[in-house]
Amino acid sequence: MITWDKRARITAGCIGALLLAVLAIAILYQPQSKTDKIYVSALESYYKGDYQNAYYLFSKISLFSNLKVPAIYHRAECARMLRDEISEIKHYQLLFNNYPNHPLSIRARYLAGQKLINSKPKPAKDYFEYIIKNAPDTDYSVASEYYLGYLLKNKYKDEKIVPVSAKDEVQSYFRHYLKKAPYGTLALSAVFNWLEFTNDIQKDDYVLMANTCYLFGKYKKSLELLEKAGINENWTIAVKNYNKLNDIEKVKQLTELGLSAYSNYAGEDELIDVIDIYLSKSGSLDKLYSLSHGQGKDYIMSLKCAKESDKTSCYSKLYLQFPNGRFSADALSNIFFSKIKSKNYEDAIKIGRDHLNKFPESNSAPMVMFWLGKISEKTNDYEEYTNYYKNVITRYPDNYYAYRAYLRLKRLSNPLITNNLNVKPVLYPYKYSRRNLIIKLVELGDYDLVDELTGDDDFIRAWVLYKKGDYSRSMRIARNAMAELKDKPDKYDLRWRLVYPVIYYDEISKYANAAGNNLPLMMALTREESYFDPLAQSAVGASGLMQIMPSTASDINSKYNLGFIIPMALFNPSHNLELGNYYYKFLKEYLEGYDVSAVAAYNGGIGNVRTWKSSLQYNDTDEFVEQIPYSETKNYVKKVFGCYWNYIRIYSGNQ
């Protein structure tokens, strides 16, 4: 039986414990605003190189904050910068032992394994095996395979006899790594560790190694490994190596031999690469055409057709020989357009519909759909042509032909829709909850950790690069990620702003207005020329944001009395934009005020454009663009006006 005194003592003890708990919470509790302030101060100290102070400040983050785990991780980083390996490892272990399900735990375990690989191989091995088992689809799992191979190799480094099973296991680890990450950080180390470990290597493995050596610029070593694997069977890699070594004769000799006898050993992408290399070295297209009999023939034929005067016959032959090849959709679209040119609309409609049925996801599908709409307009079939144009806009919203379809639907003859942009900032590309850790880190400016925590999301990677000011890489990553999406999001989706950000708006607006140019068009042209990299420079010397040749800049500088020092002005963003806008003004005035002609001349030259305008037979802008003889210039015009369309679509409400 519990007496009154005993019950009182128990009650008092419970109250005391509760008071202590409340006191502990009161001591440990930290308002969110204070936590945020400490975290930002710690980050600032870290980026300034004051790692000791950052290490201390990160320790002050409340245990109850969702910033605690990032703070522990950053303390490990600070310890690394201070060369305090014991503290670094301790914090990694603290993180993954106490927060095993946190997204940072795998990285912490990986980094701890790296640190322990030589001093404590057993726990390092355990860490890497854990990662492979529990995070198999991550880059850390791939790298862990390399380290397991390295650890096992080191285990037998002093042994005269190595068990066959161990040999196989080491090679398996290195093989898996090179297959998954041929250009990975550890790839070259994998090659040399593998070669050091054994000479009993299969031919296919030598090819893996040779490919990695090529990617890392070890061209002679790559060729040495290819000799062991058989150069004839792996001639495409050899061609790429000889190209880098500037051995033109070997490039031509091996390409011709490879296409005539060993093309079936190569993949289609590899063949395209080496054919392009061969032709860049003044190799003969006709000779390649006569030599090729297997894979690669269709690509060579497509290049040949583009140069033929009788393109229709050539493309017909290509389509009949390779009806399911990579270039058959393009061939059929060219046959389709030739029927339009000859006014054989009945056959054009049949071929166009066949194209859309057979190649609905091809790059040429929007072009075919748009031109089917134009044919329907000729017969005044309002419902049909409206459906075609609307389908182009709906299915391919960011495409050049969506822009052309919009003009047809709105009955606009001028290619310029508006001169205004409603500028909006680039934001984090997804909607979110305020409690989300990622968003908290975004708000506090911890962009590197955001990049780490978001894994393989290229839109977030692009956003992080944008925030760091690396606009060119940001746009390319976002562009490629958007291209991968089969179903494009609506124009209000924040990811579009990453693909088409508004950069240098004030300067472009100022000089476009001064020169009488269209602002969104100049924004588009600048984006396509340099991706807003003020230090961009082409192989032929075109420089800066609007990629102007020094000689052209000198002429424009004199003509408009701009007073710049050339070529220094080309790498000054403001000066380059002024020069580029006045150059465009000059082109447009010289070409009777037509923007499509001026854009074409910006890439292909005034003389060529004047020749095309006088020699080509066309009824409207669309027919002119489709017939531009230089494929680079034709694609350039489509890219610039497609980009113009997207800026308007995203920033002014049109669609």
Q: Which residues have a catalytic role annotated? A: 529
Residue 543 φ/ψ, nearest 5 degrees: -135, 155
For residue 579, which of 598, 595, 559 has the smallest C-alpha distance? Answer: 559
Question: Residue for token digits 């470990």?
Answer: 197
CB 468 within 8 A of CB 448: no
For residue 453, which of 134, 103, 69, 43 has the smallest C-alpha distance? Answer: 103
State yes or no: cis peptide before 31, omega within 30 of 0. Answer: no
CB 497 within 8 A of CB 523: no
Amino acid letter, 440: K
Residue 472 CA to residue 456 CA, distance in Å, equals 19
Helix and strand counts by DSSP (H, E) for the chain: 36, 0
Q: How far is CA 635 from the centre of its chain?
A: 19
Which residues, in sequence order, are CB contacts of 114 under 8 Å at separation 6+? 124, 147
Tokens of 463: 């956003």
Residue 256 CA to residue 484 CA, distance in Å, equals 35
Residue 67 CA to residue 60 CA, distance in Å, equals 11
Residue 462 CA to residue 479 CA, distance in Å, equals 9
SS (H, E, C) 339-380: HHHCCCHHHHHHHHHHHHHHCCCCCCHHHHHHHHHHHHHHCC
For residue 271, which of 246, 250, 288, 287 has the smallest C-alpha distance? Answer: 288
Residue 92 CA to residue 607 CA, distance in Å, equals 65
Question: Residue for token digits 């269209």?
Answer: 518
